Structure 1
Amino acid sequence: MDTIEMIIQTKSTLHNLVVTKWFTQDLLSIKWWGQIGFVIFSYILCFSLMDKTRLTKTILFGALISVFAVVVDIVGSNFNYWTHTVFILPITPSIFLYDITALPMYYMLIYQHAYSWKSYAVWNIGASAIMGFVFSPLLVILGSIQFSNFSYLDNFLMISFIGFLAKAATSLIFSFEDQYQSTQRTSQPFARLQPSMKPLDEPKENQDDTRDSQ
């Protein structure tokens, strides 16, 4: 059998297993409702606490956190470092609880209150410790995730790296934007100082017709 066909069949089998488990075990269970409640609570809490005057930068930062977390989750799941065991929706990896809720939402609050790199580093390490050594073990105890050949220390380091990478990427993006805006403001005064175009002389025939009419 061709390798691609084997991969397709294996993926189909995995999808069918996930869907069956979701319908028979996860949907409307206590663990499922618990995850739904945590997601809703986190979004309401974090948006109510956010500084609404800085939403553009904050949402960009949160989006980068989420993108990096999803990529890491896909890689880790494919290498069997961890396995999600409760699914909000029948897809794997289950990105809703951790990748697009817990990490981005609470890190967005950190981003808004940590203005300097020094303060952000302290907050990032503290939040990574809570996520890696408290939140993740709690998910394991509740049966929402299982780790294989991946320690809580590894999880802590991974989350810290995501936090620093998102902060650096956000700072770089807005640094480029500020430089471009500064260049635009500098070039505008020179554009106003350019000499106006001298009107072209009237064609000789028009001049002659004017003299004849006089």
Structure 2
Amino acid sequence: MDYTNKLIQVQKQFAHFQKKFFFEETLYSYQWWITLAITVLLWVVWVLVVDKLRLKSIIIVGLITSLMATVMDDVGLSLAAWHYPYQIVYFTTRFNSVDFAVIPVTYMLLFQYFTRWKTFIIATASFSLFAAFIAEPLFVKLGMYIIMSWEYWYSAPIYFAMGILVKWIVDKMDKESN
């Protein structure tokens, strides 16, 4: 059997086990409820507090950070650096609550409330340390994030760099459009 056929077989088995795990272990578990609550609550908060006058720039921040998080998540999952056993839906392996809620909403709020570079850097550094050394270990403890070949301290500079890069891009776009 060639590698392509082996990979297809493994992928079919994985899809079968993933669906079985979701409906027998994940759906309505406390991890599932936490994931759903995080996603819904963050977006509700965002809708209530977003600065409508800066909506375009803020949404661009959210889209870019969500895209970056999704790509990085796919790379980490492909390299077997981590695994997320609990999803809101069964047909994904990414932690969509983080990629589509936690990361974009957090960076959009940071961008909205910390407009000056100095305060933005401090807030982004604080978030990066919190996410890497408090949130990630908490998700591990709750069984929602399994680390296989990753260390928490790898995450902090990535979170920080993501925030800095996105603010630089969006500030530059805003400056050029004015």
Query: What SS does the corresponding residue of 2:146 show, helix, strand or coil?
Result: strand
| 1:82 maps to amino acid | W
1:19 aligns with 2:19: yes
In the alignment, the residues of structure 1 paired with residue 51 and residue 175 of structure 2 have an alpha-carbon distance, to the nearest angstrom, of 21
Q: Is the 8 A contact 2:43 2:105 kept in 1?
A: yes
Q: Is the 8 A contact 1:32 1:86 kept in 2?
A: yes
In the alignment, the residues of structure 2 paired with residue 76 and residue 175 of structure 1 have an alpha-carbon distance, to the nearest angstrom, of 34
- 5 Å-filtered alignment, 1:64-213, equals 64-178=64-178
Structure with higher RCO (Cα < 8 A, 6+ apart)? 2
| Aligned-residue RMSD, C-alpha | 1.5
Q: 1:165, CA displacement in angstroms? A: 2.2
In the alignment, the residues of structure 1 paired with residue 20 and residue 161 of structure 2 have an alpha-carbon distance, to the nearest angstrom, of 35
Q: TM-score, normalised by structure 1?
A: 0.78
Query: What SS does the corresponding residue of 1:97 show, helix, strand or coil?
Result: helix
Specify every segment of 5 or more residues in structure 2 that has no aligned partner in the other structure, as ranges: none
Aligned length: 178
Q: Is the 8 A contact 2:70 2:94 kept in 1?
A: no
Q: 1:47, CA displacement in angstroms? A: 1.9
In the alignment, the residues of structure 2 paired with residue 176 and residue 74 of structure 1 have an alpha-carbon distance, to the nearest angstrom, of 32
CA offset digits 1:101-125 (Å, max 9, x no partner): 1111121111011212222111111
Superposition misfits of 4+ residues, deviation over 6 angstroms: none
In the alignment, the residues of structure 2 paired with residue 91 and residue 119 of structure 1 have an alpha-carbon distance, to the nearest angstrom, of 39
Distance 1:172 1:9, change over 3 A: farther
Instruction: Report what 1:182 is aligned to.
Output: none
Query: What SS does the corresponding residue of 1:12 show, helix, strand or coil?
Result: helix
Identity of aligned residues (%): 24
Q: Is the 8 A contact 1:84 1:92 kept in 2?
A: no
Query: What SS does the corresponding residue of 2:150 show, helix, strand or coil?
Result: coil
Specify every segment of 5 or more residues in structure 1 that has no aligned partner in the other structure, as ranges: 179-214
CA offset digits 1:24-61 (Å, max 9, x no partner): 10012221112111111111112212212111100111
Query: What SS does the corresponding residue of 2:83 show, helix, strand or coil?
Result: strand
